[in-house]
Amino acid sequence: MEIDQYDIDYAVVDGQDVLLSVTTGNSQIGGTAVLLDGSLKSSGENIINLNLGQGAGLRDSFLRVKTTVTDYNNQTNNLVVKHELDGGPNPHSEVRTLTVENQGDAGIFTFIVQFI
């Protein structure tokens, strides 16, 4: 199984909601779990504009987003996940890609955020 992990610090703004979106691409099958300070906040196939809370309440918290994607599309072995955060002074958007060897193989994408 292929694994991709990356970490960021994300600045928040007091009084402003922080929103998270996680989507899988290439017509692949995926599932995501979102944990905020170790507690499950949400899970599902695609997470769209999940309100994580206001900036002041998130500061010094850790977000862990884990997405497992299975290669279902017989046209490509590329697995794609897009992570987006909004609500800070600088929105974050990043597309991550893994390549698996065989159709039916899976990859795990882990995105870790410390709110500052």
Say if strands 29-36 and 39-44 run parallel, antiparallel, or are unpaired: antiparallel
Backbone φ and ψ for 109, nearest 5 degrees, come out as: -110, 125
Rounded Cα–Cα distance for residues 42 and 35 (Å): 7
Which pLDDT score, from 0 to 100, does residue 93 have? 98
**Residue 66 banded pLDDT, cuts 50, 70, 90:** very high
Judge whether 58 and 13 are in contact, CB under 8 Å. Answer: no
Rounded Cα–Cα distance for residues 62 and 64 (Å): 7
Average pLDDT, stretch 72-84?
96
- What is the percent of the chain with per-residue pLDDT over 90, rounded to a whole number? 99
Return mean pLDDT, the chain. Answer: 97
Q: Cβ–Cβ contacts within 10 Å for residue 84, how many?
A: 17
Judge whether 34 and 50 are in contact, CB under 8 Å. Answer: yes
Strands, DSSP E only, in 15-90?
Answer: 17-24, 29-36, 39-44, 47-54, 62-70, 78-86
Digit-coded pLDDT (tens) for 90-112: 999 999 999 999 999 999 999 99
Digit-coded pLDDT (tens) for 8-51: 999 999 999 999 999 999 999 999 999 999 999 999 999 999 99
Which pLDDT score, from 0 to 100, does residue 73 have? 94
